[in-house]
Structure 1
Amino acid sequence: MSKKSSVPYVLLITIEDQLQDIIPTKNEIIDLTRAFAQSVGKEVPIDTIDFDLTKKDILRQNLDCLSDDEKFDFMSQIQKLSYVKCRPELEEEITNLLSYQDRITGSKDSRNSISGLLAAYPPKIRKQWTKACIFFDKDDYRNALDNVRLAVELLVKELTKSDASLENQQKNLGNFLKAKGIGKQVRNYLHNILNIYEKIQNNEVKHDVPESLSREEVTFIMNQSYVLIKFLVDCDNKAF
Structure 2
Amino acid sequence: MFVLELDGKYQACAGYKETARPTAGKFSVSSYYSTEWKGADAPSLRIEGLSTDEVYENLVRQIAGSELISNKDESLCDTIKREERRKKLQRKIDALKRKIRKKTVEQADRDERGIEKDGERVKGFVMFMEDTPLKIDSAFLTYACNILAKTDSWLSGTKIVEYCCQYAIDYNKKIPYGTYPFDASNKRTALLENLKVFDALEQFQIIKDLCELSELRKLKSVQELKIKLYERYGKFAGQKFSETELIQNTKHWLSGYPTALKQYESALTKYEGGIFERNTLDDIRLAFELLVKALLNNDKSLENQIAAIGSMLKDSGASAELRNMITVLIRYYTDFQNNHVKHNDAVNDSEIEYVIELTSVIMKFLIKVVNGGTLTDGQNAHGNAGYYGSEYR
Alignment equivalent of 2:86, drawn from 2, 5, 13: 13
Determine whether 1:59 maps to 2:193.
no
CA contact (8 A) 2:250 2:361 kept: no
Query: 1:225 & 1:202 partners in 2: Cα distance?
Result: 15
Query: 1:40 & 1:179 partners in 2: Cα distance?
Result: 61
Structure 1 residues 206, 40: CA separation in 2 closer, same or farther (over 3 Å shift)?
farther
- Structure 1 residue ranges without an equivalent (≥5): 1-8, 18-35, 45-52, 72-99
Percent identity reads 26
Alignment equivalent of 1:215, drawn from 337, 346, 349: 349
Structure 1 residues 40, 157: CA separation in 2 closer, same or farther (over 3 Å shift)?
farther
Alignment equivalent of 1:156, drawn from 273, 284, 292: 292
Per the alignment, residue 228 of structure 1 pairs with 362
Alignment of 1:179-190 (within 5 A): 179-190=315-326
The AA in structure 2 aligned to 1:159 is L
Determine whether 1:39 maps to 2:174.
no
CA deviations over 1:82-124 (Å, ceiling 9, x no partner): xxxxxxxxxxxxxxxxxx955x367454333322211112x21
- Structure 2 residue ranges without an equivalent (≥5): 1-81, 91-126, 136-164, 175-196, 206-236, 373-380, 383-393
Report which structure shows greater RCO (CA 8 Å, sep ≥6).
1
Question: How many aligned residue pairs are there?
Answer: 174
Structure 1 residues 129, 105: CA separation in 2 closer, same or farther (over 3 Å shift)?
closer
Per the alignment, residue 48 of structure 1 pairs with none
Per the alignment, residue 81 of structure 1 pairs with none
Structure 1 or 2: larger helix share? 1
CA contact (8 A) 2:242 2:248 kept: no
Query: 2:255 & 2:87 partners in 1: Cα distance?
Result: 43
Aligned-residue CA RMSD (Å):
3.7
TM-score (norm 2): 0.38
Alignment equivalent of 1:129, drawn from 264, 270, 275: 264
Structure 1 residues 64, 223: CA separation in 2 closer, same or farther (over 3 Å shift)?
farther
CA contact (8 A) 1:16 1:59 kept: no
Query: 1:11 & 1:176 partners in 2: Cα distance?
Result: 53
The AA in structure 2 aligned to 1:129 is Y
Larger Rg: 2
Runs of 4 or more consecutive aligned structure 1 residues displaced over 6 Å after TM superposition: none
CA contact (8 A) 1:37 1:43 kept: no
Structure 1 or 2: larger strand share? 2
